[in-house]
Structure 1
Amino acid sequence: MHSREHNEFWSALLEKAYAKLHGSFEALKGGTTSEALEDMTGGLTEFIDLSSPPKNLMEMMMRGVEMGSLFGCSIEADPNVWEARLPNGLIKGHAYSITGMRIVEGPRGQTPLIRIRNPWGNEQEWNGPWSDNSSEWRSVGDDSKKDMGLTFAHDGEFWMSYDDFMRNFEKLEICNLGPDVMQEVAEMTGVQAGHETWAVNSHDGSWRAGSTAGGCRNFLRTFAMNPQYRIQLTDSDPNDDDDLCTLIIGVMQKYRREMKSHGIENLAIGFAIYEVKGVNGKLDTNFFANTKSCGRSPAFINLREVTGRFRVPPGEYVIVPTTYEPNQESDFMLRIFTNGFIESDEL
């Protein structure tokens, strides 16, 4: 990693420190955009498949930009060509970042635009509508352009319409930042995010064979052995007209990158959520035999972390993080981001 400025060196030092943390530069090979975003910010990342997006995705992204979230997007790699370049200027299998969103007055009325950056920082940019110097910009007033900080340069950064973005990109990752980081971002950039920040609760736990590694709900006899965490949600999302809370849950298996050199791979992990009323101790097998979960991770998958976003009414819930098979061992961290007031404890 290097800067185009010859007197700026922090990025190379950061990369070296990150390699030292994991034992070698070799250990940094492979991984996902979300792992990098989380390791550098402590945020929680959600994955969105743009071929079947949530209905309110544009609002989610606008809110995210206001709350200082970080975004990565990509087009599936071509198995036969490394970083294949498309005729429209985009590159397959390449991680882009989203650096801004605006609604402007375009030739066909109000148009939501997204600013995207190719981290190579060169002339390899989108060349369709709203690209650098394209005719669409004639309909935007000079004041708006100035307000957007619009510059056309071979710097890898370009604008495209939300519709073109949805048509061309396939995967989106949103890294939500916690309140402690938001304060640091504000101090560094002078830009204060909106009033809202996520409330964050985090718990460390472990799955141990014979005691706390019960496997998924398919293994009903041992499922209740898994660690269980109670959460109490008291107020609903202030920005919606329904009475639901937004909840983002992440379960991360720890230290997997360091263990890779010893031949230890990621386990398939997931979680389930149950609605409860006034629990004192851990939920038992009888409860799980007779109660359906009200939410769960999208799939059991051998990623370092699985996450899910849920809309639920205020109330009391229990989250059960699990490995797919019983008796698989690992340490994990459970994180819960919500936009209301939350209390949580381990049962």
Structure 2
Amino acid sequence: MGWSCTYCTLINEDHEALCDGCGSSKEGKQVRGLAAGLRNAVSGAVASLTTIWDDLVDVTSAPFTPPPAPPPQPAPYSVFDVREVPRAAASPVSPLSPQQPRIPVITLSDTPPPRPPPPRRVQDLQQAMPRTSVNTVSRPCSVSLHSSPMRDQTVRDEREARNQLKQIELLCREFKTSFIDDEFPPTEKSMGKLYDDAEMAVPGRIKPADVVWLRPTEMFTKDGHRFPYTVFNDPSSSDIEQGALGDCWLLSAMALIAERPDILDKILLTKAYSELGVYQIRLCVDGRWRVVTVDDYFPCRRSSRTLAFAVGRKNQLWVPLVEKAYAKALGQYAKLRAGRTVEGLALLTGAPCETISLEDDDLEVDLVWARLLSAKEAGYVIGASCGAGSKRRVPEAVSASLGLLTQHAYSILDVRQEGPNRLLRVRNPWGSHVWTGAWSDRWAGWPEELKRRLLPAGVRAPGAFWMAYDDFRLHFDSIDFAKIRQHLAWAELRVPCRIGGSWADDAVALMLVVEEPTEMCCSLFRGGSRTADDHEDLLMCIHRVDPKGRVGELETRSDRKLSHMATTGDFFLRPGHYVITALSLSSFNRGKFRLDASLVVHSNKLLFGEAIACPPQMATDSLVQLALKEGSVQRSMNGVIPRFVTKRFGGLMVMVDNHLPATHLHVTSDCSKGPMKQQICWGVKVHNSVMVMVDHHLSATHLPVTSDCSNSSNVLSSRGATKVIDSVPPMSRQILIVLSHFDASNGYVVENKLMMATSRTAAINGVMMQPGAGASAAALARVQPGIEHHPPFEDEASKQLHAPRSVLS
């Protein structure tokens, strides 16, 4: 029954000793004088309200309906009120143990780590950067940054690498021994599990037990003693041959770089053969430049003493050295298996990379050809993938009969418009298995003059062939570009960040100050993507900062997809302040799960920026602005705007705006399985429908909405369910649900049924709570009466993403 408080008359539970309202005891005693003060305050407030009410009644006799309370708004933030960004712990350094006796082998542990650069002070940035009227308030900054020309970063890395190399060589000469890399020792552990059991039956595969680690002087090669061992010997794409490791994607990228000595020179910091066996390779691993030091022990076949993996013809070492350096960065050679050329291009060049899919149903064939010609003219590096997409225009057997390998990466060496003929020069990194169709070397239809120019006599290029653009589009699924712009003095800015999981205070955004019209390209890299077992989505949005210091209009964004990298492509920004948010939503319900990532900005002008904390409200604002700009609107009633985001989104986002001033909107969003017609788009099924039930005889009512996505498959829901029911207050908007592609190896299905209705109360009514595939009768029976959202928001991050907010904020 409970007990009634003597002072404030509040009914309390029997087990409560003190009143929840005024703090008085159950026996009627006041606690520390608090009850009397509250009683007086409450009595005064009631008297004042009574007087005001009487005055209103005297003024008009019309019935009075109090307006509904506005939805609770999240705490405000400003990108200019920067909080301290949590810093990652420094990587441990393993010094040489003093108890361990010295042996005549020099390892990386014997050399001290390079001294880190001094941190940049925000005062220096503020003095160097002119302020605009939008940002006149001096503010603290957690991490101050400015972009630098890419060539300057290369010079700094080379200087630090030389200092470390001198120390290693000094110790080697002092102890009269060669260098052995103890961080990546010549053992089976560094090999990893190379193949699944089923793959061992494939010819050319090698077992770890059949491998012996040898230095160059101990190996046999195809070129024998005709060429001395060198790092470079007039490198070309035909010098690269793939071994027993399935890393054609990396070798295809290396074949492209072999034709660009200006790039290759920046990768191999050690350019001459080392008698001490120590080499330094500069790679861009997961978006961060890294100088990797390795020795010259290579895996070889025990029976023949030849290189087991990548081979550089003419006894060139740069090919196996680059392969070994990346294997060391990943921890094992086995981690190099399977990939796409674009990944290898990003690793070797550090340049912004972009992929064009050739599988789109609405592919603009002429535009893609124009981009190929433009990319070749601009000096970009270009690769391609054959038969690795979700669609296959021709059977695999047909491609094989014409000499092509499916699930394989190729290099594009040249692009030519010869009269009406559109031709591409393509190369297989294996040095064999070449195209045998039209425009191949032995094709009988070659015009004599064109054959003399494109196939000069006596010039042999193993693995290279010409093919027509139309044939290329049939057999290949994507084209990869690396936009090399060092010669154009482009600048770069690289910012480490953490994304994913339930949004927390350790998330980071990047605020940019653009002082003049600037062309740029932004990329987001997932850290450790090759060593991870799961797939996570990546999304990057660039917003203008509004006058209140909040995330404003969306300028551009990357595709949202399951990948190791996301990129925006090239775009222009006018002078002003901008903020870049980096998001991953597929792990939204996984608590403290985090992904290490790198946010990279390339620009043709120098930029100033600050790495700032990205609170959950800022991330939600970013998604809201995305939906406002790109959401497909399906109007169903005046004052209500449902928006659906599916294009380039890797799933679905549903947001509803309720602009009705005195009506609550109840929504059911159902993405569960049901007998709905499906629209197939590039291996993805997408369908949205809206059903509205409105009672026009109700005043000051609530409008319930149901969103049913239960017919979707291979997706994850940010609400933990595919059917959600929500009550959207007047003049409010709400992100109802976000679906994310789950398994990248399969397509996904997205369907959504949206049902909206009016109601007198904010609580979910019985009409909206009908069972469906996404919410069974048993599940709905457990719904607590009086709630406004089902499923309820389980944590603060869910509340920040999905709670209603004012449309005016």
- Cα drift, residue 47 of structure 1: 1.5
**What SS does the aligned partner of 1:56 have?**
helix
Instruction: Give the alignment's TM-score, normalised by structure 2.
Output: 0.32
- In structure 2, relative to structure 1, the CA distance for the partners of 1:40 and 1:134 (3 Å cut) is same
Check if 1:70 corresponds to 2:358.
Answer: no
Q: 1:51 to 1:344 in 2, by over 3 A?
A: farther
* Residue 568 (structure 2) aligns with: 308
Q: Deviations over 1:22-65 (max 9, x none)?
A: 22222223333222222222223211111334663223222322
Task: Tell me, in whole angstroms, the C-alpha distance in 2 between the residues paired with 1:96 and 1:152.
Answer: 20
Q: Which letter does structure 1 place at the counterpart of 2:599?
A: L
Matched, 1:86 2:400: yes
Residue 422 of structure 2 is aligned to residue 140 of structure 1: no
SS at 2:347's partner residue? Answer: helix
Residue in 1 aligned with 2:426? 116
- Which residue matches 1:201? 493
- Asked if structure 2 preserves the Cα contact closer than 8 Å seen for 1:178 and 1:199, the reply is no
Deviation at 1:137, TM superposition (A): 2.9
What secondary structure sits across from 1:155 in the alignment? coil
Q: Is the 8 A contact 1:42 1:178 kept in 2?
A: no
- Measured against aligned partners, the alpha-carbon deviations of 1:64-102 in whole angstroms (never above 9, x if no partner) come to 2233322221222499xxx86532222211111101112
CA offsets 1:5-25 (integer angstroms, 9 cap, x no match): 363333223322322222222
Q: CA RMSD in A?
A: 3.5
Counterpart amino acid of 2:468?
S
Q: 1:163: Cα distance to partner?
A: 2.8
CA shift at 1:139, angstroms?
4.9
Tell me the amino acid that sits aligned with residue 526 of structure 2. Answer: Q
Does structure 1 retain, via aligned residues, the 8 Å contact 2:340–2:385?
A: no
Distance 1:151 1:308, change over 3 A: farther
Match runs of 1:323-338 below 5 Å: 323-324=584-585, 325-326=587-588, 328-338=593-603
Find out whether 1:38 has 2:346 as its counterpart. yes
**Paired residues of 1:251 and 1:333 also in contact (CA < 8 A):** yes
Unaligned 5+ runs, structure 1: 183-195, 214-225, 237-244
Q: 1:142 to 1:90 in 2, by over 3 A?
A: closer
Q: 1:328 to 1:233 in 2, by over 3 A?
A: farther
Q: Percent of aligned positions with the same letter in both sequences? A: 25
1:296 to 557, 561, 572: 557
Whether 1:227 aligns to 2:509 is: yes
Given that residues 295 and 310 in structure 1 are in contact (C-alpha distance below 8 angstroms), is that contact kept between their aligned partners in structure 2?
no
Matched with 1:160 is: 467
Note the C-alpha offset of 1:4. 6.5
Cα distance change, pair 230–6 in 1 and its aligned pair in 2 (3 A) = closer
Structure 2 match to 1:268: 537
Deviations 1:79-134 (A, max 9, x none): 9xxx8653222221111110111222xxxx34232100011112x21122221132
Structure 1 pair 299–152 and aligned structure 2 pair: CA distance change class (3 A): same
Q: Does 65-74 or 197-206 show the bigger shift? A: 197-206
TM-score normalised over the length of structure 1: 0.70
- Between 1 and 2, higher relative CO (CA 8 Å, sep ≥ 6) is seen in 1
Structure 2: runs of 5 or more not aligned: 1-308, 391-395, 613-809
Output aligned runs, 1:172-211, within 5 Å: 172-179=479-486, 196=488, 198-207=490-499, 210-211=504-505
Structure 2 residue aligned with 1:193: none
Instruction: Name the CA distance, whole Å, in 2 between partners of 1:10 and 1:49.
Output: 31
- Is 1:253 aligned with 2:526? yes
Change in CA separation of 1:337 and 1:64 when aligned onto 2, cut-off 3 Å: farther
Larger radius of gyration: 2
Deviation of residue 175 (structure 1)? 1.8
Q: How many residues align?
A: 289
User: Cα–Cα, structure 1 residues 130 and 150, in superposed 2: closer, same or farther, change >3 Å?
Assistant: farther
**8 Å contact 1:206–1:332 — kept in the other structure?**
yes
Q: Does the 8 A contact of 2:514 with 2:573 survive in 1? A: no
Q: What displacement does 1:266 show? A: 4.8
